[in-house]
Amino acid sequence: MTVGTVHQKARRSRYAYSPMTVKRRTRAVVSLFALVTIALTLRLVWLQGIRYAHYRQLALDQRMRSVQVDPKRGTIYDRRMRELAVSISADSVYAAPAEVKDARAAARQLAPLLEMTEDALVTKLTTQQAIVWLKRKVPYEAAQAVKKLKIPGVNVAESGQRFYPKDTLAAQVLGIAGIDNQGLEGLERYYDDVLRGVRGQIVAERDAAGREIPEGQHLYIPPTDGNSLVLCIDEVIQYVCERELDRAIADTGSKSATAIAMDPITGEVLAMAMRPSFDPNAYSKYSTALRRNTAVCDIFEPGSTFKVVTAAAALDEGVVTPQSQFYDPGYVKVEDRTMRCWKAGGHGSQSFTEATENSCNPVFASVALKMGASTFTRYLEAFGLTQKTGIDFPGEATGLMHRASKMGPVELATTGFGQGISVTPIQLVTALSAVANGGYIVKPTLVKEIVASDGSVVQRMEPTAVRQVISQSTAAALSRILQSVVVNGSGTRAAVPGYAVAGKTGTAEKPEGGRYGSGRIASFMGFAPANDPKVALLVILDEPSTDVKYGGVLAAPVFSAIMRDTLRYLEIPPTIGTATGTTSGAAAAKVTVPDLTGLDRAEVESKLKGARLGFRYEGVGETAMVQSPKAGAKVDAGTTIIVYFGTEEMYNLDSTRAVVPDLAGKTLKEAALLLGARGLAVHPVGTGKVVRQQPSAGSEVARGASVTIYLEED
């Protein structure tokens, strides 16, 4: 065997495979194919089974192109179902660019109808989109003309457009809705989910180029219209407020004005007016500042109207009684500050009631200091002045108050007469309502009901009493003091003929650059009828340009005009007359109030009728002890004279102690009057008439103490 033969055999043996090697390699190849087959099968199961619906929808989306159809927003009504915001039909023009054969020719025809340039339309008609809007909210006549052109690829879709039939009425409250049917501001925004509804669709099957497939699928999914709102606001009361604010701005040159009318029992806002205003039908022409609801979203220094809160806290704590005596030399010194009264030389000796009538800053500073920071701030929190009221409106602001830990003597004193703090108008009128309704903070609300398109009630907003902040007797005592402010004090211009009115004036300096400037805020707030309140009202005039800027001079007459027409519109009978008696047809001449002290009820009634004056009784007993206005005052004929009956002990101003009267058999109102006249608080348990009391009758207690009475039905 040659060497070459050996090498040749060696080469053949190197490439030879054994049977085992062949089998292994065959199994490997088969396994590989099996794994690939299994992977492909699993992927197919995933795509065709588990993910079938997803990919089917993607395929449908590629060939099914839709145009959104807006629903009609729900209507917004006033409390008597009068329309304030409605949706009207407004067509929109859209195009499928792939179907438009000659974009330039189409643009030439559409331009005058849509009030657009040809170039702008050509750009839209040649865009690489399946569907493009050419113009939204097209007038009806123009939309019909577009339809008649029958341009391939150009169509018209019906949609809703917001319309406000009363123009500027309650504009800042209602807010505005945008071109895409969305709420942008005000109640339109806050209740957008309720009002908007559900969009519909116009669906058509198209090819890859975006052209509609002849005989392809077509589908119309109708929109679901939104639910409607029934507001607490009354259109007529809103109009009265806006009318009087317009007059006030014209008369006083004020920069702006605000008024809020509220039912103090339920918290329902009957009117919320601001001036200047805007037209929501053309909102883009106005600044955002004019569209702002300042009654809810802005804060201001309340000035002397805040003394209502200070008085409520002090009376409830027993720090003062209506008869507590003070001496005002015209100022009060607190640390290194001298806080002056508006009246040069001061008011001298006066009761707390008279200090409220006079709106005396030194007295209220002293009262706040006597209460202390901890006690006072507790009442500020209880009155809701450190937090939002929770009113159903977007962007509500929060009042700015000093914390107890940061409230030194100066801050405490100035807070007492409403300076150095800020509140929102809605917070202030909510606090006032607690005095009117017997001591409860109620949650203010703008919406009464949500109703469906068929008129059925979806949701009814029930009145919400948040908490009791002062006792019923405190509220009654403060109400009498505030009535005296209108009869005797700084609020005489707020009087409403035929009705007992309780209220308080306010004049505040406006801070500018960290210090007080020359600007003033004149305000007045009150409620009526005072003995059965139906309306609480706040009026604010910002920066009047008149020489005299006092709230009692400028804002009180606006309050009177609004309250007068509101009470008449609500058909609330006059409180001077009917059961308690009054004169009728009294002339407008001035008469002198007679001295009634010491007289019995029959003598009081005879004397007041002879003087052509109305009257109302307060207290329990047969002898007239106190009267308001005082004897000798000059008032209009027909003015209500409030006469307080009782015993001399009940009106002993010098005593710090009081004897608990026998309340057995009395109603809650009678018991509250008896205790309130003695400077005592009432804590009722049950309903009906008094069957038991604690402390017992004849006990001597400190003025301001609480007497628990247990009542049972007969």
Helices (H), 333-405: 352-358, 361-371, 373-382
Do the beta carbons of residue 429 and residue 260 sit within 8 Å? yes
Q: Which of the residues 159, 228, 304, 359 is marked catalytic?
A: 304
> What is the token pair recorded at 70?
């807006």
> What is the token pair recorded at 222?
């109708």
d(CA 482, CA 460): 34
Q: What is the DSSP string of 271-290?
A: EEEEES---GGGGGGS-TTT
Using DSSP, state whether 441 is helix, strand or coil: strand
How many residues comprise the chain? 714
Q: Could you say which DSSP state residue 573 is in?
A: P
> What is the token pair recorded at 65?
């192109």
Do the beta carbons of residue 455 and residue 228 sit within 8 Å? no
Q: Could you say which DSSP state residue 422 is in?
A: B
Beta bridge pairs of residue 427:
none
Residue 304 among the catalytic residues: yes
Do the beta carbons of residue 444 and residue 538 sit within 8 Å? no
d(CA 465, CA 231): 19
Q: Render the burial of 377-388: b for 16+ CB within 10 Å, e for the rest.
A: bbbbebbbbbee
DSSP H or E stretch at residue 133: strand 132-138
> Cα angle at 383 between 377 and 387, to 5 degrees?
80
Using DSSP, state whether 146 is helix, strand or coil: helix
Beta carbons within 10 angstroms of residue 36's beta carbon: 10
> Cα angle at 318 between 313 and 323, to 5 degrees?
100
Q: Is 236 left (phi over 0), alpha (psi -120 to 50) or beta?
A: alpha
Residues assigned a catalytic role: 304
